A and B are shown apart, each in its own frame.
Chain A
Amino acid sequence: MRKSRAMNLGTGLFVLLGFAALFFLTTQTTNRGVSFHSEPHYRVTAKFDNIGDLKVGAPVSMAGVEIGRVVGIGFDSRDYKAVVAMNLNAKYNQIPTDSDASIYTQSLLGGKFVGISPGGAETYLKNNDQIAFTQSAFVLENLIGQFLANFGKSSDHSKSAAGAGGQVK
């Protein structure tokens, strides 16, 4: 009987430790913490020429503070633009209608996020509004292409010998 009591105690401690570990993982390692409910929010959309590799779930920030998340990415086949739907926290309901949305890169290895810079209008964005002024993602390939094109133009005469050599090869 005493052996069984010790075993039950051990089992109890084990189960307790297991649930403590689960609790630690949910509250300490995730961004959600213990809150499973979603806060009240409103939805705005914006059309971009190019969104790069922006993903659903990416943060939407203003002055570096996260105010919402990207909840949907679609393609508008009439004007060939990407449509990004964002849920903004209802706390931040005083964003001027002429604000502009840009896509930035978080860090060298980080993903893309949407940054909103405030405009000067007296009216504020409401649910289902659209942000008119947008700036596309910074796409490295395009930039390198532009750079090479400009570089080629400016140094055309000086590099013509090398260019000819390349062509012969």
Chain B
Amino acid sequence: MSDSLVRLGDIVGFLGRIMLQVPRALLRFQLIVDQVYNAGALSLVIVMLSGLFVGMVLGLQGFELLQRFGSEQALGTAAAIGLVKELGPVVTALLFAGRAGTALAAELGLMRATDQLSAMEMMAVDPIRRVVAPRFLGGVIAMPLLAAIFSMIGIYGAQLVGVQIMKVDAGSFWSQMRASVHLIDLNEGIVKSCVFGVACSLIAVYEGYHAAPTAEGVGAATTRTVVTSAVIVLFLDYLITAFFL
């Protein structure tokens, strides 16, 4: 118990150290752009595919359930609310931890294991500023965009199943969605994806940076990144949802 508290304090302290270097890191913007590419653009395919299938299954299950009450027109609302508020940010964060978080942790862990980070310190280059902060910022920028893309594709998938296959009226699908999705629902999704972006990126760079400098250590750091990110994301999800209610 006290171990995990120490680790939590350590992570928060690490976030502080990154934040101190953020203004400096912003000056070398190309490094951040490269990391947005690594964390965001390269995760695009998996996020879009997952979004499509999650949306389609939502359309199918939602239709099946709502049909029992004779209100299948509410399918658009159900799919949009479910995607924008919950599934979009949460599933994207889990995929992000699996796709981009592990890559970050393994990269930094290998840099640690091969003494590249120490070499930078020897040359008076702060590895937090040069290596960690751009990766962290890249993840923080990419995550909300990925979540928005996931939700958009998901709504398209729900529409595909609901309207094209199950023949829900297209007009009521969209108009009911527009009537009952409010800007506050969207805000909730955006706040969630930003918070998850910070959490997942921070955990990934922390674990990678502090990996034991062995092959085993890199593997353990990668595993811890995924496990911790998943638990933290689901916990934070509950907190933010409760806050917005």
- A residues contacting B by CB (< 8 A) are 4, 7-8, 10-11, 13-15, 17-22, 24-26, 28-32, 36, 57, 107-109
User: What are some 15 contacts across the A-B interface (CB < 8 A)?
Assistant: A10-B41, A11-B37, A11-B41, A17-B145, A18-B144, A19-B145, A21-B152, A22-B144, A24-B152, A25-B84, A26-B183, A29-B177, A30-B181, A30-B183, A108-B70
Chain A residues whose CB sits within 8 angstroms of the CB of B189 once the complex forms: 25
Other than the given A18-B40, A26-B186, A29-B80, 19 more pairs (CB < 8 A) read A8-B37, A11-B37, A13-B41, A14-B41, A15-B36, A18-B142, A18-B148, A19-B145, A19-B148, A21-B148, A21-B151, A21-B152, A25-B148, A26-B183, A30-B181, A30-B182, A30-B185, A31-B182, A108-B70
A109 and B74 contact, Cβ closer than 8 Å, known pairs A25-B186, A26-B186, A30-B186 = yes
User: Distance in Å from the Cβ of B180 to the closest Cβ of chain A?
Assistant: 7
Chain A residues whose CB sits within 8 angstroms of the CB of B144 once the complex forms: 18, 22
Chain B residues whose CB sits within 8 angstroms of the CB of A4 once the complex forms: 30, 34
* Complex: A107 Cα to B71 Cα, angstroms: 9
Report the nearest A residue to B145, measured CB to CB: A18
Pairwise interchain contact A22-B41, C-beta atoms closer than 8 A: no
Tier of interface size on chain B:
35 or more
Name the contact of A17 in the complex, choosing from B80, B149, B181 (C-beta under 8 A).
B149
- B residues contacting A by CB (< 8 A) are 30, 33-34, 36-37, 40-41, 44, 69-71, 74, 80, 84, 141-142, 144-146, 148-149, 151-152, 155, 174, 177-183, 185-186, 189-190
A11 and B44 contact, Cβ closer than 8 Å, known pairs A30-B182, A108-B71 = no
Pairwise interchain contact B183-A25, C-beta atoms closer than 8 A: no
Pairwise interchain contact A10-B181, C-beta atoms closer than 8 A: no
Pairwise interchain contact A29-B69, C-beta atoms closer than 8 A: no
User: Distance in Å from the Cβ of A57 to the closest Cβ of chain B?
Assistant: 8
* Complex: A52 Cα to B241 Cα, angstroms: 26
Chain A residues whose CB sits within 8 angstroms of the CB of B148 once the complex forms: 18-19, 21-22, 25
Please list the 3 inter-chain residue pairs (A to B) with the smallest Cβ-Cβ separation, ordered nearest first: A18-B145, A21-B148, A14-B41
Report the nearest B residue to A36, measured CB to CB: B183
Pairwise interchain contact B40-A14, C-beta atoms closer than 8 A: yes
User: Distance in Å from the Cβ of A12 to the closest Cβ of chain B?
Assistant: 9
Report the nearest A residue to B178, measured CB to CB: A31
A31 and B152 contact, Cβ closer than 8 Å, known pairs A18-B40, A107-B71 = no
* Complex: A32 Cα to B145 Cα, angstroms: 21
Report the nearest A residue to B146, measured CB to CB: A18
A29 and B84 contact, Cβ closer than 8 Å, known pairs A18-B144, A18-B149 = yes
Pairwise interchain contact A109-B41, C-beta atoms closer than 8 A: no
* Complex: A16 Cα to B202 Cα, angstroms: 25
User: Distance in Å from the Cβ of B144 to the closest Cβ of chain A?
Assistant: 7
Chain A residues whose CB sits within 8 angstroms of the CB of B178 once the complex forms: 28-31
Report the nearest B residue to A32, measured CB to CB: B183
User: Distance in Å from the Cβ of A29 to the closest Cβ of chain B?
Assistant: 5
User: Distance in Å from the Cβ of A21 to the closest Cβ of chain B?
Assistant: 4
Chain B residues whose CB sits within 8 angstroms of the CB of A13 once the complex forms: 41
* Complex: A56 Cα to B142 Cα, angstroms: 36
User: Distance in Å from the Cβ of B99 to the closest Cβ of chain A?
Assistant: 14
Chain A residues whose CB sits within 8 angstroms of the CB of B145 once the complex forms: 14-15, 17-19, 21-22
